């Protein structure tokens, strides 16, 4: 079989982060079909760009594309994990690209208001994000709220998941399954969350036979009547400092299992805190800062198409 020919292209990017959950943003919304990068291209690029030593370094690659219905959406966002797999949803990523779009298109902003509403098309559906136009004290940051809508599903009861570590240790976990278009297994723990071996149990639970497409895993401890702490093992990325959709799943599970007594929940993650609200109409809102770190260009290799 002949070796596939590759070509090198230069791509502009923006590095962004939300509570340490970091992203490389490609804006492909202006490219026509002839010049567009395919999903296969972007999957390959994600694996190289995300590398912490040989690439830019990120948890996910976020790609802005032209929306299917420009009269409804400002743009489409697609998400590629560090392992090249595609994700349906990414709430922290949504908040970052909303800030990116607001910064890139300032003429569309109504300066008489203190915020701007942006409509984003995703694989999981229509998401509305609100970008505050009041600068935060953090450098080049904005407060952004994303409305992920209603959870797609919530398990009626906790599901028992048994996994076996490489050394033979077996452990049973009990998870509340929540979906926002992407799957989450939320596990409440009574032990010390900081001491939990997430690197061992996270990937085993991610690939449990119950989840043919794998799952995100959230380990949670309750810290107050309206506050919890969480660590997240992200499907396709490993443990991350923060996960927006994971925090949404944690808030929903905390309310559903009566771990908190309010529908407004503070979720503390290693990278910082997020404010969550499971509103009376059923929508879940997540709010926190989104930051532009720097901009640059990178040379990437993609298959040569003739």
The string of pLDDT tens digits covering residues 20-49 is 999 999 999 876 554 578 899 899 999 999
- The percentage of residues in the chain with a pLDDT greater than 70, rounded to a whole number, is 93
Query: What's the pTM?
Result: 0.91
Output the pLDDT for position 113: 64
Active site residues: 90, 243
Asked whether residue 102 carries a pLDDT value surpassing 70, the answer given is yes
SS (H, E, C) the chain: CCCCCEEEEEEEEEEEEECCEEEEEEECCCCCCCCCCCHHHHHHHHHHHCCCCCCCCCCEEEEEECCCCCCCCCEEEEEEECCCCEECCCHHHHHHHHHHHHHHCHHHCCCCCCEEEEEEEECCEEEEEEEECCCCCCCCEEEEEEECCCCCEECCCCEEEEEECCCCCEEEEEEEEEECCCEEEEEECCCCHHHCCHHHHHHHHHCCCCCCCCCEEEEEEEEECCEEEEEEEECCCEEECCCHHHHHHHHHHHHHCCCCCCCEEEEEECCEEEEEEECCCCCEEEEEEEEEEEEEEEEEEEECCC
Output the pLDDT for position 109: 47
């Amino acid at each position: 079989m002949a070796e596939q020919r590759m070509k090198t292209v230069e791509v502009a990017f923006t590095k962004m982060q939300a509570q340490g959950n970091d992203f490389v943003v490609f804006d492909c919304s202006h490219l026509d079909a002839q010049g567009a990068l395919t999903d296969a291209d972007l999957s390959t690029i994600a694996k190289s760009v995300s590398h912490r030593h040989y690439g830019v370094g990120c948890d996910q690659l976020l790609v802005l594309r032209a929306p299917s219905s420009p009269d409804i959406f400002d743009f489409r966002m697609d998400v590629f994990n560090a392992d090249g797999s595609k994700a349906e949803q990414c709430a922290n990523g949504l908040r970052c690209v909303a800030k990116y779009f607001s910064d890139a298109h300032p003429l569309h902003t109504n300066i008489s208001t203190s915020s701007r509403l942006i409509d984003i098309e995703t694989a999981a559906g229509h998401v509305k994000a609100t970008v505050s136009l009041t600068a935060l004290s953090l450098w080049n940051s904005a407060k952004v709220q994303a409305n992920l809508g209603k959870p797609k599903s919530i398990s009626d009861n906790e599901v028992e998941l048994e996994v076996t570590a490489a050394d033979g240790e077996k452990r049973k976990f009990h998870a509340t399954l929540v979906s926002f278009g992407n799957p989450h297994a939320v596990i409440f723990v009574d032990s010390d969350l900081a001491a939990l071996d997430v690197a061992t149990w996270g990937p085993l639970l991610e690939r449990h036979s119950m989840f043919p497409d794998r799952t995100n895993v959230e380990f949670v401890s309750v810290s107050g009547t309206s506050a919890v702490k969480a660590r997240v093992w992200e499907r396709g990325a490993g443990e991350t400092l923060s996960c927006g959709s994971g925090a949404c799943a944690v808030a929903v599970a905390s309310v559903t299992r009566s771990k908190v007594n309010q529908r407004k929940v503070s979720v503390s993650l290693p990278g910082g805190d997020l404010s969550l609200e499971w509103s009376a109409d059923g929508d879940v809102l997540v709010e926190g800062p989104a930051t532009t770190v720097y901009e640059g260009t990178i040379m990437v290799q993609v298959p040569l198409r003739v």
